[in-house]
Structure 1
Amino acid sequence: MQEIELKFLIPPARLKGLMRQAKVKSSQDIHMAAHYYDTPEQDLAQAGIGLRIRQEGDAWVQTIKAGGDGIAARLEHNTILDNEHVQAMLDADELMPDLILYEDPAIAPALADFKLKKLAKKLTRQYMTDVQRTTRLLEDDSSKESSTNEDSNEDSNEDSNEENRSKKSSTIEVAYDIGQIIHGNDDSQCQDIHEIEFELVSGELEFLFATAKLWCKRYKLCLSTVTKAERGGLLIKGENYSPAVCADLKHLNVDQDSSMPTFVRAAVHNCLLQILPNSSAIAAGSQDNEHVLQLRIGLRRLHIALKAFKKFSDQLNTEWHSILKQTATLLGDYRELAHLATTIEPKLQQHGAPSLDWTENIERIKVKPIDAVRANDFQLTLLELIEFTMSDPSTEPQASTLAIDKLPKILAKKHIKLLKAEQDFDDLAPDYLDLDDLEADNAERNSLVSDDLDSNPVHKVRRHLKDLRYLSEFAAPLYSKKKSKRWLKRLIKAQKSLGQYQDHRYYQQCYQQKSLTDPNALYGAGWFAATLKNDRNRLQKRLARIQDRPTFW
């Protein structure tokens, strides 16, 4: 069966209030001790599969989780085991899962890449969880009202009755977990578990998301895509967070038959596959610049998808744009200086530059990445975006129109804007640096949109080049693979050159400005000023390769 679940981290300041809602008269407490299994090479984890045997009260349950949409839905298969058999294996310290259970056709596809007999011989217990779970069921209050209205109105038609019966079944389970993940070979190594989950038991997705948004708003919860299995794998490797997640277009599920609403949902979903893991890591405490960078790239991709494909669906919310823009800007303000201090400065010192301290500059930034990501407006926007991707595209008016019929006009329009911006950039004087415009330059770099800065030719090229690249990536699966691959290769190379050019401009400006209070910064200002001419020449060559090549659409 498919499990649809939303998981959240709980801010310590909101714990007491949340506990009062979780522990009510109708709630149930259950102790759960789970044993998780994988190969020494973590083959199951790499395939996105979790395999466990868990004691749930008086019962022992073997569970495998796999697949799904990568966000809220996963394939789950549960089997209740014989207690005496489990106890015998425990007494002999030989508790192991039975993989014969997964010859069942319903779950077999998840393990299609494995030979079960060979896999069974390699399995070992990797880690355990010891959790106290408090659960309560929530039912849709509006369905009860509908039921009352139905009973008082004998003339209601059969369709209305069917709709009300459907609403009556809308139930979700709220599960609050507190406990530990324990290393399988060293019980002194452990991590705390403190999270709350909302799982759809029956009924409509709408009720699941409405409830999750209500609790998220009230208790400032933060979405997390990190499963207990993933956390256990990190514990085994001695790591706190999974690596930053880049865009993965292999998981963009579109084709020539995709309708407009289906296409835009797939594009948003693909962006969320990049955004959610990185935002989850930052919300949990990661200060890795790569998590911040990949989150910002994901937000940029999402922004262009929502803007370019706004006519593909009536369910897109224009209010999402301002929240995404604000978050990206706050993330960028911090990341640029942090990257300069942790990466650029050490490189310059390796080449003989005098030491500079950027601590004061970073501390002046009041909103850190964790604050931006944990912001309630951003978390609620993520929930709404997830809900949008899981909604039914076939109910929309645009469902009768194919995306491929509309994409050429969108791509051509962006291509023309890029060619015009390239011409304006080529007309610039070679020594154009705009050194007195640091504030505006930084604002543009850190924002999702730069309409107010379009008078700057460099900004215009950057904006239109990124937009065309991401739009081309979304559209590529609908066209010739060979032609789109060549086109994207040229765009990516040009974007990389432009990024290096802009980065060096920015660093030059930062060191130039810092030299006003610390003469040692003149070394860095001169270093990057010397690189800009070659950067510009390389960029112009790669932009020219876009101008004189045919498009793929």
Structure 2
Amino acid sequence: MTIEPIFPENMQMADEVELKLEIASEDAGKFEVSGLLAGAPKKMRQISTYFDTPDHDVANAGFSLRIRRSGKKRVQTIKADGGSAAGLFIRSEWERAAENDTPVLDFATPLPSLLGDKIDAIAPAFEVEIDRQSWTIDESGATIELVLDRGDVVVGERRSPVCEIELELKSGDPAALFAFARRIDAVVPIRLGVLSKSERGYRLTGAAPARVTAETVILAGDTTAAQALGQIMQSCIRQFRLNEALLLANRNTEALHQARVALRRLRSAFAIFKPMIGDAGIDLRTELRWLASELGKVRDLDVLLKRAEGGPLHDRIATMREAAYDNVCEILSSARARRLMLEVTAWIAASDWSGTADGEREGNRPARDFAARALDRYRRKVKRKGRNLASLDDDARHEVRKSAKKLRYAAEFFAGLFERKSEKRRHKRFVKALEALQDQLGALNDLAAAPELLTRLGIAESPGAAELMAHGKKGRLIETAADAHEDFVDTKRFW
């Protein structure tokens, strides 16, 4: 039996499908006169006050709470977090008219049940001041509401500018959102947006992050394989975009590293789910490999610079590193790189995840079953390829490392599907053993790659180059890696 929730007459619950795009404030005027927007826009000034407890219990529960003022009208909105949707926001919201600037928090919304007595501590947290213009767009038989927002997020004396386009599907095929986004990008540069305005506000309330690590992928027990792939890929896209922004703003080495991790996770997702998707999206995989390679060149110099600290080659490598950052920032600003995350998101939205197993769509199978098969597959690869690891050559050890990485990402992606206490304990031990193996194989790979890197940089024969190659460490690393592989083989599965 299904129990339907009951809402008062002035309370609406709905699902939104939105595509969020970031645009430079200096390009907004050019976009307005581009000819893509027919007719005069609707204009309004909006001031939204977001509410939370001092410990951010509302946000930690996965929601945002605001009262938006536009003229004399006030509307209260509670939204379930859509942050993991990576540009394509699909989420539930509860909306009602508000008489004043005090939230109404009754059991028509989920917050009282989630927060309990903490709900009494809810107070204003920050404001978002927006000048909004909106148009109705007809695109390939779909009706889209296009909104151009310009303004600021305000926390006390701190302000952060906002300039973004939101495309909300009112009717028709979601593919129309991406078709129109491509038309916008032909006029002004856009990037896929992954931060809601509430997230911008919360970020402004604390210290600015230097990097963003992978967020936990929330997979419920009834998740299908297709749904799991969509959520996993969206998580990877979000991690990349957040770190890309930090990298472009600050040239932070850890943001660069996490952007690379996000790309590796995304590429691994394509590989892990290959039994379901086959060769679909192969062009995207090629582009992701290209972008990962470009970021990898800079990361190599970051690692080399750290190893060269105090040595005769440090300053030369530092100069090369600065030039490499110039180049990678230029690449990330190119149309080719900017469009990539938009195209991956479009592919996720459009794919039907068809498979061949017994004539049934593989994507409809339980994600837990799919995960167990994928984890088994990569565990066997790591065990088989790593046999007699001490006697393998550099290329063979690198293949073990790549399989171990995919197994590690799969273990992280699917962790939420194995939530029994015994499974969680074994998961922790399994990942720890896998991390130890990866660390040793990574160190060996750095040593193996060092001569080629130094040759490519033209410093292989320079004073101090031999110390950077550190061949003397190789024997000890191989022994440690072989021991780590044996420990991994002896570690029980968690699935």
TM-score by length of 2: 0.80
Please state whether the residue corresponding to 2:315 is helix, strand or coil. Answer: coil
The answer as to 2:22 corresponding to 1:79 is: no
The answer as to 2:430 corresponding to 1:458 is: no
Residue 493 of structure 1 is matched in structure 2 by 436
Unaligned runs of 5+ in 1: 87-95, 144-169, 430-454
Residue 121 of structure 2 is matched in structure 1 by 119
Residue 341 of structure 2 is matched in structure 1 by 382
The answer as to 2:318 corresponding to 1:359 is: yes
- Cα 1:39–1:218, aligned 2, differ >3 Å: closer, same or farther? same
- Cα 1:392–1:38, aligned 2, differ >3 Å: closer, same or farther? same
Residue 39 of structure 2 is matched in structure 1 by 25
Please state whether the residue corresponding to 1:191 is helix, strand or coil. Answer: strand
The answer as to 2:65 corresponding to 1:51 is: yes
Residue 175 of structure 1 is matched in structure 2 by 147
The answer as to 2:244 corresponding to 1:279 is: yes
Deviation (angstroms), 1:196: 1.6
- Please say if residues 223 and 280 of structure 1, whose CA atoms lie closer than 8 Å, have aligned partners that are also in contact: no
Deviation (angstroms), 1:495: 0.9
Residue 230 of structure 2 is matched in structure 1 by 265
Task: Give the Cα separation in 2 of the matches to 1:315 and 1:547.
Answer: 31
Deviation (angstroms), 1:402: 5.1
Residue 193 of structure 1 is matched in structure 2 by 162
Residue 9 of structure 2 is matched in structure 1 by none
Q: For 1:182, give the aligned amino acid.
A: V
Q: Write out per-residue CA displacement over residues 342-378 of structure 1, whole angstroms, 9 at most, x where no aligned residue.
A: x555xx44xx989634332124437644444444344
Task: Give the Cα separation in 1 of the matches to 2:130 and 2:238.
Answer: 28
Residue 10 of structure 1 is matched in structure 2 by 23
- Larger mean CA deviation between 529-538 and 329-338 belongs to 529-538
- Please say if residues 260 and 292 of structure 2, whose CA atoms lie closer than 8 Å, have aligned partners that are also in contact: yes
Q: For 2:219, give the aligned amino acid.
A: N
Residue 3 of structure 2 is matched in structure 1 by none
Please state whether the residue corresponding to 2:385 is helix, strand or coil. Answer: helix
Q: For 1:223, give the aligned amino acid.
A: L
Q: Write out per-residue CA displacement over residues 476-534 of structure 1, whole angstroms, 9 at most, x where no aligned residue.
A: 55567155544333212211222233345556876797766763x358537x4454443
Unaligned runs of 5+ in 2: 1-13
Deviation (angstroms), 1:328: 0.8
- Percent pairwise identity: 23
- Cα 1:533–1:231, aligned 2, differ >3 Å: closer, same or farther? same
- Larger mean CA deviation between 481-490 and 507-516 belongs to 507-516
- Cα 1:262–1:3, aligned 2, differ >3 Å: closer, same or farther? closer
- Please say if residues 62 and 81 of structure 1, whose CA atoms lie closer than 8 Å, have aligned partners that are also in contact: yes
Q: Write out per-residue CA displacement over residues 134-190 of structure 1, whole angstroms, 9 at most, x where no aligned residue.
A: 1111123x43xxxxxxxxxxxxxxxxxxxxxxxxxx422211122223332x3xx32
Structure whose CA Rg is larger? 1
Deviation (angstroms), 1:223: 1.2
Structure-to-structure mapping, 1:148-547, within 5 angstroms = 170-184=142-156, 186=157, 189-237=158-206, 239=208, 242=209, 244-249=211-216, 251-253=217-219, 255=221, 259-282=224-247, 285-313=249-277, 316-341=280-305, 343-344=306-307, 348-349=309-310, 356-365=315-324, 368-390=327-349, 397-398=360-361, 399=363, 401=365, 410-423=374-387, 425-428=389-392, 456-474=395-413, 481=423, 482-503=425-446, 519=463, 521=464, 524-525=467-468, 528-547=470-489
Deviation (angstroms), 1:35: 2.9
Residue 129 of structure 2 is matched in structure 1 by 130
- Cα 1:139–1:390, aligned 2, differ >3 Å: closer, same or farther? same
Task: Give the Cα separation in 1 of the matches to 2:114 and 2:280.
Answer: 37
Deviation (angstroms), 1:5: 2.2
- Cα 1:371–1:13, aligned 2, differ >3 Å: closer, same or farther? farther
- Please say if residues 9 and 221 of structure 1, whose CA atoms lie closer than 8 Å, have aligned partners that are also in contact: yes
Q: For 1:487, give the aligned amino acid.
A: F
Q: For 2:335, give the aligned amino acid.
A: N
- Cα 1:334–1:407, aligned 2, differ >3 Å: closer, same or farther? same
Please state whether the residue corresponding to 1:358 is helix, strand or coil. Answer: helix
Please state whether the residue corresponding to 1:233 is helix, strand or coil. Answer: helix
Task: Give the Cα separation in 2 of the matches to 1:315 and 1:193.
Answer: 39
- Cα 1:209–1:314, aligned 2, differ >3 Å: closer, same or farther? farther
- Please say if residues 131 and 150 of structure 2, whose CA atoms lie closer than 8 Å, have aligned partners that are also in contact: yes
Q: Write out per-residue CA displacement over residues 98-138 of structure 1, whole angstroms, 9 at most, x where no aligned residue.
A: 2xx23243x31586135355223xx2x44333322111111
- Cα 1:127–1:551, aligned 2, differ >3 Å: closer, same or farther? closer
Task: Give the Cα separation in 2 of the matches to 1:110 and 1:373.
Answer: 44
- Please say if residues 62 and 80 of structure 2, whose CA atoms lie closer than 8 Å, have aligned partners that are also in contact: yes
Deviation (angstroms), 1:327: 1.1
Please state whether the residue corresponding to 1:44 is helix, strand or coil. Answer: helix
Q: Give the RMSD, CA atoms, in angstroms.
A: 3.7
- Please say if residues 3 and 74 of structure 1, whose CA atoms lie closer than 8 Å, have aligned partners that are also in contact: yes
- Cα 1:110–1:48, aligned 2, differ >3 Å: closer, same or farther? farther
- Cα 1:504–1:138, aligned 2, differ >3 Å: closer, same or farther? same
Structure (1 or 2) with the greater strand fraction = 2
- Cα 1:79–1:364, aligned 2, differ >3 Å: closer, same or farther? same
Task: Give the Cα separation in 1 of the matches to 2:30 and 2:384.
Answer: 56
Task: Give the Cα separation in 1 of the matches to 2:41 and 2:151.
Answer: 18
- Please say if residues 49 and 66 of structure 2, whose CA atoms lie closer than 8 Å, have aligned partners that are also in contact: yes
Task: Give the Cα separation in 1 of the matches to 2:260 and 2:487.
Answer: 27
- Cα 1:522–1:376, aligned 2, differ >3 Å: closer, same or farther? closer
TM-score by length of 1: 0.72
- Cα 1:459–1:13, aligned 2, differ >3 Å: closer, same or farther? farther
- Please say if residues 427 and 494 of structure 2, whose CA atoms lie closer than 8 Å, have aligned partners that are also in contact: yes
Please state whether the residue corresponding to 2:84 is helix, strand or coil. Answer: coil
- Please say if residues 476 and 484 of structure 1, whose CA atoms lie closer than 8 Å, have aligned partners that are also in contact: yes
Deviation (angstroms), 1:227: 2.5
Number of equivalenced pairs: 468
